[in-house]
């Protein structure tokens, strides 16, 4: 009897998860054109993304060399791809523009929100004289390992944490973090 009731509870929970994903996907799709318009406006503010990141806790995940390279960050984009089984894949892209270390200025990673997590990334093509190890510190690996195929301790969970944090917080309202950094500077 209890197993039958639990089975019904589990079926409701699965149905709720599918419904919530559909609702989330609907509003994410409605947000995309607005986010694209916002991105065009933000391009008019030199240094917007580096300043916004400086006030966000993602900065705590970065090494000093990461922070230096992220000063070249021109854009952050997020996309998501729902699947029929109720899961989704999140894609986060960083556009670093022209910089001294990385040849492919657009870096991205994708990660699924279900276990076991699956992740893919753009990989990083370093310019002569640079390597991923240059961005690591003794006690902290570079955030850029999540975008590199050869990441030492790259884990799908770490990639998911970064993608989810960006999708649900930083990308939702980057202006809030930009303004926080502005007020800290004054």
Region 98-126: what's the mean pLDDT? 90
Q: What is the DSSP string of 27-46?
A: HHHHHHHHHHHHHHHHTTST
Q: Is the pLDDT of residue 106 over 80?
A: yes
CATH superfamily assigned to domain 33-185: Nucleosome assembly protein (3.30.1120.90)
What pLDDT, on the 0 to 100 scale, is given for residue 169? 93
**pLDDT average, residue stretch 118-124:** 90
Confidence band, pLDDT 50/70/90 cuts, at residue 186: low
Sequence-separated contacts (24+) of 15-24 with Cβ below 8 Å: 17/86, 18/86, 21/82, 21/86, 21/87, 21/88, 22/82
Omega of the bond prior to 116 within 30 degrees of 0, cis? yes
For the record, the structure tokens of 108 come out as 């991205």
pLDDT mean across residues, the chain: 89
Q: What pLDDT does 7 receive?
A: 94
* Structure confidence by residue, pLDDT tens digits, 43-83: 999 999 999 999 999 999 899 999 999 999 999 999 999 88
Mean pLDDT of 135-139: 91
């Amino acid at each position: 009897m209890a197993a039958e009731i639990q089975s019904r509870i589990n079926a409701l929970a699965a149905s709720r998860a599918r419904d919530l994903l559909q609702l989330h996907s609907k509003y994410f799709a409605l947000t995309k054109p607005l986010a694209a318009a916002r991105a065009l406006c933000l391009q008019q503010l030199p240094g917007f993304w580096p300043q916004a990141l400086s006030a966000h806790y993602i900065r705590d995940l970065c090494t000093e060399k990461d922070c230096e390279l992220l000063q070249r960050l021109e854009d952050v984009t997020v996309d998501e791809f729902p699947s029929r089984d109720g899961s989704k894949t999140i894609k986060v892209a960083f556009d670093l523009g022209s910089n001294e270390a990385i040849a492919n200025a657009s870096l991205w990673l994708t990660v699924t929100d279900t276990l076991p997590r699956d992740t893919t990334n753009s990989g990083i093509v370093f310019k002569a004289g640079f390597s991923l190890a240059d961005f690591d510190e003794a006690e902290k690996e570079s955030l850029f390992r999540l975008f590199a195929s050869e990441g030492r301790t790259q884990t799908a969970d770490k990639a998911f944490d970064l993608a989810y944090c960006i999708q649900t917080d930083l990308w939702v309202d980057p202006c809030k973090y930009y303004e926080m950094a502005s007020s800290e500077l004054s």
